[in-house]
Structure 1
Amino acid sequence: MSQDSIATGRWAEVFAPRYLPATTILALGVALLAFNAFLTSTAMPTAVEELGGVSLIAWALTLFLVFAIMGGAGAALAKQVLGARVALLVSAGMFLAGSLIVGLAGSMEMVLAGRALQGLGEGLVAAICFALIPELFPARLVPKVFGMEAMVWAIAAFGGPVVAGLLTEFVSWRAAFLVSVSMAVIFAGMVLAVVPNSTAGDRANVDFPGVRLLLVGGGIMAVAVASLVPPLLASALLVAAAALLVGTVLLDKASRTRLMPPDAFWHGSVIGNGLWVTLLMPVAGATSAVYLVLLLQQMWGYGPTMAGAVAAVLALAWSGAAIVVANVSDNATRMRLIRLGPALLTLGLAGVLAGLLSGQIALVLLAQIAIGASYGMSNSSLYVTLMGATTDQERDRVAALVPTTQSAGNAIGAALAGLAANLAGYASASSSAEFARAIIPVFAVGAGTAALAVIAAARMTQLMSLSPAYEASEG
């Protein structure tokens, strides 16, 4: 490993003239996703009320998520075939067009079409931006970049609902969606100014991975629908989703034009175990993310603002932890942070459950801090380690697969949490005691999944410590 990668970068460098344009591009790429998520959750109920089709509101998120994951899965190939600049411009154009369709929609069907196009564009943007990090920044600044991205998410978590609420109340719900148009235009302008006009790859030797992308989309669609149907059907859909996603990985290994690295999700490699950590942590964290705000209102009588504030503590802790660990430069500490992240997540989920059952808000807040810190302290180290363990030929595939895998984990986690809640009788609960009994299996699923991430993280760091590259860098 070069001295450049070992030296500790400074925050001033990330925002200095040399790297400021690249920092701005990545911040805007994250903001497109982060603000869109919070704008949508706030403005969509009003849109549904005006346009009708209340039964379709869940699909506004489902279609966005499915197409975002499909876009992310094909991002490395898009970057290879079109070049980074063209791929980002095309992706931003998709997102912009989708935002216009939603903002000008005359029916819920148009809203859904726009959301699907938004998701496809945003999935591509997010994954390509991840792949560009090692190209635009030296290794010493990568943790700082993750700290910056965590700050963008925290700002969006607080500012997004406020902006969307004000626009929806005093202007129109359409204005809340059309805000994304200006962000997409600015992003495209920055791409033109900063991203190198890399040469497109040889398209003649590229097979379009249509079947694999359809399998990914079908698997995630099955996961998303599983959270909306009765338990027996949900179980069948989750089994089908697992079969489709496993089939995608196996089919990809045998394909000439691969979407994933050859050792994706293989237990005997650093990359494989790292991707399992990347998947399992969001699956586990979705437990609290999906139900905490609702539970605080149902069990403790909190209003939406107070309950939302408790949930927002997680975002603050995430950002704070990411900033604190941004100065980490040695591999040994990175390995410890990768192991500590899932372990702290396990404790945090158990702590939220204990706090809810005992009526202790202080314990819930402390557990929320632990959950947020688990992601903030481990994400950058996980990414840096994955990039260090891969080859130049596979770097784009690994980098693009990270945000896509995280999105898939959120979808799977929400479905598993919903299934556990339905099986435990959550939907029919009416008292605090009944809610308390129903959520125990929900958080048990989350904590159990986090424990699996602990095992994958331990395996990953063990394999990494035995690699020649790790021993050379430590020496």
Structure 2
Amino acid sequence: MSDTVEGRWAEIFTPRYATVTLIVCLGVALLAFNAFLSTISLPTAVREMGGVALISWALTLFLVFAIVGGSGAALLKQRLGARTALVLSAGVFIAGTLIAASASSMEQVLVGRAVQGLGEGVVSAICFALIPELFPSRLVPKVFGLNAMIWAVAAFGGPAAAGLLTELVSWRAAFLVSVPIALIFAAMVVVKVPAHSPGDRQDVRFPGLRLLMIGVAIMLVALAGLAAPLSAKGLLVAAGLLLVGTVWLDGRSRDRLMPSDAFRPVSVVGTGIWMVLLINVAGAGSAVYLVLVVQQMWGMGPTAAGAIAAVLAVAWSASAIAVANVRSKETRKTLIRLGPAMIGTGLMLVLIGLQLDQVAIVVAGQLIIGSGFGTCNGYLNLTMMEAASDAERDRTSALMPTTQSAGNAIGAALAGVAANSAGLATAVSSADIKFAIVPVYVLGAAMAALAFASAWRMVQLVRPQDANSSFAAG
């Protein structure tokens, strides 16, 4: 069968790949749905149990522990094998869900959300690591396109489903709906995922100190988003030092969490990880503040404001699907460079639309931002996978979703510092809000510019032999 035929969308749904495709999709769906769950269901839980001061930590702890779990996922896969690691982490996720759903206080909900995040962080990272292992390279962009579609569906359907379950049944039901999905996921993993991969080792040491440093650093980042500007800057500096220290320690460890060239601008993988981090830092500020700002400035209701925000997810999904059939290596390089340029342009358009009170310009900016992510994301990940050695591929693949989550957390905190420093928290008039939101979008555009520089450097480092690796050969 020719590569042109084999590379069609239909192939990922053929008997050979359909079960694996569904496993990856379910792993992503659990993360996507639960990322939106707490903001919809927990206000009702707070009215029942109290603890309104803790509500924001439901998402924060989920993300912090998801990043910690994702950071250790590659080593866990090596130690236990993909099948056992996925089944155990799915069990951890289910346990966390049951703790949260049966909670009698917000403190118990937070414990459940932390346990949920830990399990789901491992699940999503190992699912990413399985993509180059179970799919040939010609199908990888389509798998990422499908994942983008799942996030878009979750952006629309997740809040709607959680809202309906909360309103018609209870907030506890909105949590419990994840349990059967996780059980189906675990059953399919037992049947389809290989117990061990070549290169798995049983003597992997538990990287407790490095995982603790990552967790503390991300927690400091989260606290920075809530603190006064001066304190926030100190927290961000401390978090940065911890993360740099973690990378330094990891590079000297026998059992590394990250690829050996992680964050080093001398390799495709090193520059690619910087790009993954920076594009997510760039987009986080707008994601956090856009709905709030259009409601305050233009008097929009939650549905209309949410629709403007969701335009980005739809554009991301549509563009990822549109470019998934590109086979030319040079075109793929162009798409990788184009992505951050579009993200930066879109952010500035959204800012202009807000300043001019033009909804159409804001929507156009959202379309361009989403298309920028969808255009570059699949080929960015594929290029890093192809460039990684066989020994490093698990670490490289598993680090991608973890770096995305870390970028979102860091970006949200930086945007919070920028917005609070400009007086957004106390802004009342439309003019004050317009002034205060400027640094959020300027910061995002600056991060997108740095991501563009990383993209440019990355594609310069791509060697022809990277496309002829055992993974790329499929």
Q: Bigger shift: 359-368 or 412-421? A: 359-368
- Residues 358, 8 of structure 1: alpha-carbon distance in 2 compared, 3 angstrom cutoff: farther
Deviation of 1:33 (Å): 0.6
Letter of the 1:383 partner, please give it: N
Of residues 141, 144, 153, the one that matches 1:143 is 141
Q: How far 1:164 sits from its partner (Å)?
A: 0.8
Q: Deviations over 1:195-226 (max 9, x none)?
A: 1122694433x221100000100110000111
Determine the C-alpha separation between the residues in 2 that align with 1:12 and 1:202.
35
Q: Could you say which residue in structure 2 is the equivalent of 1:323? A: 321
Change (3 A) 1:148 1:180: same
The residue aligned with 1:100 is: 98
Q: Which residue of 2 aligns with 1:404?
A: 402
1:4 deviates by: 8.3
Say which SS state the counterpart of residue 203 (structure 1) adopts.
coil
Residue of structure 1 in register with 2:438 after alignment = 440
CA distance, structure 2, for counterparts of residue 33 and residue 468 of structure 1: 35
Give the aligned residue type for 1:157: A
Structure 1 match to 2:387: 389
Cα distance in 1 for partners of 2:352, 2:102 equals: 46
What displacement does 1:61 show?
1.1
Could you tell me which amino acid in structure 2 is paired with residue 215 of structure 1? M
State the distance in 2 between where 1:181 and 1:360 align.
43
Equivalent residue in structure 2 for 1:171, among 169, 172, 187:
169
- Distance (Å, rounded) in 1 between the aligned partners of 2:218 and 2:151: 24
The answer to whether 1:203 aligns with 2:202 is yes
Q: Quick check: 1:421–1:442 contact (8 Å CA) kept in 2?
A: yes
In the alignment, structure 1 segments of 5+ residues that lack a partner are none
Q: How far apart, in 2, do the equivalents of 1:381 and 1:215 lie?
A: 31
Which deviates the most, 211-220 or 152-161? 152-161
Aligned partners of 2:465 and 2:129: how far apart in 1? 24
Assess if the C-alpha contact under 8 Å between 1:7 and 1:140 holds in 2. Answer: no
Q: Name 1:41's counterpart in structure 2.
A: 39
5 Å matches for 1:156-167? Answer: 156-167=154-165
Give the count of matched residue pairs: 469
Matched, 1:276 2:255: no
**Is 1:454 aligned to residue 452 of structure 2?**
yes
Displacement of 1:7: 7.7
Q: Which residue of 2 aligns with 1:265?
A: 263
Deviations 1:159-197 (A, max 9, x none): 111111111111100000011111111111111111112
Deviation at 1:135, TM superposition (A): 1.4
**Identity across the alignment (%):** 63
Distance, in Å, in 2 between the alignment partners of 1:442 and 1:25 is 37
Distance 1:219 1:5 in 2: 45
Code of the aligned partner of 2:125? A
Amino acid paired to 2:307: A
Mapped partners of 1:138, 1:412: distance in 2: 33
- The partner residue of 2:425 within 424, 427, 435 is 427
Paired with 1:315 and 1:307, the residues of 2 have a C-alpha distance of: 14
Q: Which amino acid aligns with 1:203?
A: Q
Q: Secondary structure at the match of 1:266?
A: coil
Residue of structure 1 in register with 2:301 after alignment: 303
- The aligned residue for residue 32 of structure 1 is 30
What does the per-residue CA deviation read over 1:22-57, in whole Å, with 9 as the maximum and x for residues that have no partner? 111011001101111222220011112211111111
Once residues 160 and 256 of structure 1 are traced to their aligned partners in structure 2, the CA distance between those partners, rounded to angstroms, is 41
TM-score, normalization by structure 1:
0.96
Q: Aligned partners of 1:100 and 1:299: how far apart in 2?
A: 40
Q: Output one character per residue of 1:298-331: Cα deviation in whole Å (capped at 9) or x when no partner.
A: 1111111000001111011000001001101121
Distance 1:452 1:4 in 2: 39
* Letter of the structure 2 residue corresponding to residue 364 of structure 1: V
Question: Hey, what's the Cα distance between the residues in 2 that align with 1:250 and 1:5?
Answer: 42
Measured in 2, the distance between the counterparts of 1:445 and 1:132 equals: 35
Residue in structure 2 matched with residue 124 of structure 1 by the alignment: 122
1-structure distance, mates of 2:409, 2:136: 32
The residue type paired with residue 418 of structure 2 is A
Give 4+ residue runs of structure 1 displaced > 2 Å after superposition.
3-8, 199-204, 466-473
2-structure distance, mates of 1:418, 1:40: 20
Does structure 2 conserve the Cα–Cα contact (< 8 Å) formed by 1:6 and 1:330? no
Q: In the alignment, which of 334, 339, 342 is matched to residue 332 of structure 2?
A: 334
Give me the TM-score of the superposition, normalised by structure 2.
Answer: 0.97
Match of 1:350 in 2: 348
Following superposition, the deviation at residue 469 of structure 1 comes to: 3.5
Larger CA deviation: 434-443 vs 194-203: 194-203
